Amino acid sequence: MRIGLIGDIVGRPGRAAVRRFLPGLRQSEGLDFVVANYENASHGFGLTEKNAKELFGAGIDLMTGGNHTWDKKEIRPLLEAMPLLRPANYPDGVPGRGVKVARVGKTPLAVISLMGYYGMPMVDNPFLVAKRIVADLKAEGVAHIVIDFHAEATSEKRGLLMMLKPDVSAIFGTHTHVGTDDLTIDGGCMYVTDVGLTGCRDNVIGMDAKVPVERFLTGLPGRFEVPAKCKTILQMAVVELNSLGRAVEACKVRVFDDGTVLRQEAWREE
């Protein structure tokens, strides 16, 4: 089973990159299933129904959330009607679900959306929630388990790897929008601290640079905007899982707007 893992899709440029490049990548990389993070997909904040349909139509199978999950009010019914997840560690009673077991051929594949503590909205302990969910999935016989850990702190992401690497197939970090250079297969678990954004690459985390720079200079607030025109990138981790749900191969694929493709193979930590 080969799975594509896309980080934060940021605004119209990010969606355009997915539409342009993902169909070809599904074929060239032999992808059986694609997971992506939607939380910045509509104007940089949240997700609309129109944009959700656009991204699913481009070849994404399931999408995960984060701290901007609730920014568009229409997301609530979509969480029930579409293959969309919100972080699993929101309290009981919050709309939607944080884990879904899909079928890839005859094999069950569990995808968990999880959100960190540091700098994030109030949520339950992600480590306790993840430990409980993974234990329940294992008891049900699900061996192929992928986690999107949407977190600010790199230490939280590494900590989750150390805790769960014997039991899950892949942990891919999202939220910071900056891709990290630590793609690893560690004890049969693929890990990367942050896949990196899909969207504008020539500004500040996918947003027009004017407001962020003014905030750094003055401390005054301002609204971030996704540029109408920019240089783009699509970033995706690809992991191959064996029949036991262990990662046997992984790479990072970056596709630039001129069509240049860069591939980085995962480091194997034995």
Catalytic residues: 68
**Tokens encoding 91:** 């309290």
Hey, what amino acid is at 36? A
C-alpha 141, offset from chain centre: 24
**Tokens encoding 259:** 């069509």
- Closest C-alpha among 8, 2, 1, 3 to residue 152: 8
Cβ partners under 8 Å of residue 144, min gap 6: 1, 104, 107, 108, 109, 110, 169, 241, 245
| Cβ atoms of 70 and 38 closer than 8 Å | no
**Tokens encoding 161:** 């790897």
237 phi/psi in degrees, rounded to 5: -95, 140
CA dist 89 and 156 (Å) reads: 14
188 phi/psi in degrees, rounded to 5: 90, 5
